[in-house]
Amino acid sequence: MNKINYISLTLKSPIRIGDVKPNFNFLPTKNTIPGSIIRGAVAEYLISRQRASEISDFVKNIRFGFFYPSCNSDIFPLSLPITALTCKNYKGFKSLKNGHGIFDSIIPLIAYEELKNTYGAKFPVPFTFTCPKCESRMDRFFGLYIKKNEIHYNINIDKISQTKVAINRNRKVAENGMLYSITALKPTNFFVGKIIGDKQKINIIFESLMEKGIGAHTTKGYGKISEIKEIQCNIEPIKNRIVQFNEKLKRIWNEILSIAINKKELPKEPKAFYFSIDLLSPTIFTNNGIPTLKLNISLNKTKFKPFIFSSDPTFIGGWSTAWGLPKETTYGADAGSTYIFKIEKDFEDYIPQLENVEYNGIGYRTDEGYGDIIICHPFHKEVDII
């Protein structure tokens, strides 16, 4: 099993990652760097060294992950779960001047759904969320965040637009009526991601990125990198994350149980174990060959359907430099999608398989970084109940 290498990139110039064009005069950019972009830079490097025949063997058994913007070069950022909520009037983490905080809603939802639908609990009020500070309505909150010294920070992404004029290839002068605008990411953020592969290949990847750059328009100065380094990323073992997830659920279960009208008839704590699978990158699922947003998994030859899930669709495409053609387009579940699974017996029997799922990813095109997941996202337990 190859090592997971966490890598940090420091940009020297703006970077543009091709996205769906609204028209031919505007060239937008993605906010993250897909693994296929890193792989393409390595392929260009090998071709320039007259080593094109080595490309297929080089990329074999390497998983190029997504690289995400971060405000700290030494911290791997995580996508906020779709179930994250914030105050409608004062959005953002409490680390902001006026932010009322961002909270996660999935654990209270598990407790409420189980008590109401499984055990027949009766509540005097509807299930809803309000801001604990000002009692305003809550909105969903999207994006990336890091945690440093027990404080959460949202990742702000700065962009820059430049208007250029197309050059007539025959006359070598400006083409009349052919202005176009390039939108790129400013080099104010670091980009942190992971690549699974052996050390020797990682060193060649570093050389490739430093020489060729990343993304589109590298011949015009975009996508240049000033520093690449390997960083340490300490993530708790899956067993600990599941235990903490269920401990938090027990506490919130009791809080919700306390307002039930028929609480004496209801169980004092959950009778099963629960865990979440959270998407860190867009993921492609299919059901009988048809794209779907619902994740089903198989553990110990037992199929599990999600007890609760929340997901958003996203467009997935790309461009194949090797073929000079667009890749097959499809839709998948967006980063931040959350799937809750329920296990009736001891969950420790499933730990080895869950570790394997988290290491290898799920769905299709995992070698390009799609299908990157985390079991029991830390954000589910790091913030208080609303």
* Domain segments of the chain as ranges: 4-77+188-231, 104-141+236-382
- Report the pLDDT averaged over residues 77-103: 88
Rg (CA), the chain: 23
Tens-place pLDDT, residues 215-232: 888 888 899 999 999 999
Give the contacts of 22 (CB within 8 A, at least 6 positions apart).
Answer: 28
- Edge to edge, the sheet with strand 338-343 lists 308-310, 338-343, 273-279, 373-375
Tell me how far apart the alpha carbons of residues 85 and 83 are, in angstroms, rounded to a whole number: 6
Amino acid at 141: F
Sheet holding 144-148, edge to edge: 78-79, 144-148, 151-154
Query: With bands split at pLDDT 50, 70 and 90, how would you rate the model's confidence at 321?
Result: low
Helix, strand, coil content of the chain in percent (nearest 5): 25, 30, 45
State the Cα–Cα distance between residues 381 and 142, nearest whole angstrom.
Answer: 18
Average pLDDT over residues 239-260: 92
Is domain 4-77+188-231 classified as CATH 3.30.70? Answer: yes
Structure tokens at 127: 């299930």
3-state secondary structure of 376: coil
- Pick the most confident of 128-137, 320-329, 346-355: 346-355
Would you place residue 171 in the very low, low, confident or very high pLDDT band (cuts 50, 70, 90)? confident
If you average pLDDT over every residue of the chain, what do you get? Answer: 89
d(CA 135, CA 331): 37
Residue with the larger pLDDT of the pair 175 and 35:
35
352-372 pLDDT tens trace: 999 999 999 999 999 999 999
pLDDT band at 386 (very low <50, low <70, confident <90, very high): very low
pLDDT 10s digits, 36-82: 999 989 988 999 889 888 888 898 889 999 999 999 999 999 999 99
CATH C-level class of 104-141+236-382: mainly beta
d(CA 310, CA 83): 7
Percentage of the chain exceeding pLDDT 90: 51
DSSP 13: S
